[in-house]
Amino acid sequence: MTAATTTRPEVRVRELELHGHRVSYRIGGEGHTIVLIHGITSDSANWRDVLPQLAERHTVLAPDLLGHGESAKPRGDYSLGAYASGVRDLMIALGIDKATVVGHSLGGGVAMQFAYQFPERLERLVLVSSGGLGREVHLMLRLTALPAAEYVLPLLVAKPFRDAGEALAAGLGRLGLRAGSDLEEIARGFASLGDVDGRQAFVHTARSIIDVSGQRVSATDRLYLSAEVPSLLVWGERDPIIPAAHGRAAQEQMPGSRLEVFEDSGHFPHRDDPRRFANTLGDFIAETDPAELRPEQLRRMMLERS
């Protein structure tokens, strides 16, 4: 007699048209919804290792943000607010009222903006190696704020960034990126900049949040609003892109929040240890009640802070 095998729910890639633009996304599972928002130059495949496990108990929705992946790359608004509105619109189109929103890197900034713009649609907030919590960011991203960066990028993505093997490892290694998921995901992201529309979207996005001195968009003055929202921060201790110190400082400013540090991980803890990440997220959802924010609560908190 053989042991029964468990078949995990299928997570499918689908697309629809919103405001005249193609939006690609991954969706699967049943239950309360988890929305997973990727980082800059990435796409929904960044979550591929954790989606099946999370889909066992939840509906998972992972979009390709506009300008990324298989979604359209129009000339337009690539600000955090525009991205947050795009996530909200996709949820409406799919009939999803509320969700636990998870954001990685740039996606963390989008998740915080979503929480600020649409608190009535937020159940929990999860920030993974998130931007928007301090100035420091890797030199590689700060260089995109330089004049004419969009004209230099084709040279950078040709070699060594787009080639596998020793040249790629050596090139990224000189920038402080170690072998493993950091190298793999950042190389994959830079490879996506091979077409002009992708490069333009990347530059517009980067310049909306970064200048030559570092991150210029910060949510730290509004973190007190998370007091009414169950919040989890996940960071890799060895993150070379955004230091783990940002996560520790943010936890101190987010009343009741939790911090999970993956000691052996870099900028992609959900790729380095997907089982631990999925278990951490699943436990957090199971152990917390969803937020029920009302306008009068937010008004009171803002006035008390002023």
The region that residue 168 occupies, defined by phi over 0 for left and psi between -120 and 50 for alpha, beta otherwise, is alpha
Amino acid at 97: D
Token pair of 273 as six digits: 């240890």
Beta strands in 19-70, from DSSP E residues, in sequence order: 21-28, 33-37, 59-63
The continuous run of DSSP H or E covering 52 comes out as helix 51-54
Q: Annotated catalytic residue: which of 43, 239, 272, 273?
A: 239
Angle at 142 between CA 137 and CA 144, to 5 degrees: 140
Q: What distance in Å separates the CA atoms of residue 31 and residue 162, rounded to the nearest whole number?
A: 39
Active site (annotated) includes residue 246: no
Provide the angle, in degrees to the nearest 10, between the axes of the packed helices 149-158 and 181-191.
Answer: 120
Question: What tokens were used for 46?
Answer: 């960044």
Strands annotated E in the chain: 11-18, 21-28, 33-37, 59-63, 99-104, 122-128, 210-211, 214-215, 231-236, 258-262
Instruction: For residue 267, indicate whether it is catalytic.
Output: yes
Under a CB-based contact definition with an 8 Å cutoff, are residues 22 and 70 in contact? yes
> 105, 231, 257, 265: which is the annotated catalytic residue?
105
Task: Kindly write down the DSSP assignment for every residue of 104-169, as one continuous string.
Answer: ETHHHHHHHHHHHH-GGGEEEEEEES-SSS-S---HHHHGGGSTTHHHHHHHHHHTTTTS-SHHHH
Which position among 38, 58, 104, 267 bears the catalytic label?
Answer: 267
Indicate the residue type of 257: S
Could you tell me the two tokens for 129? 């190696």
Question: Is 197 noted as a catalytic residue in this protein?
Answer: no
Active site residues: 105, 239, 267
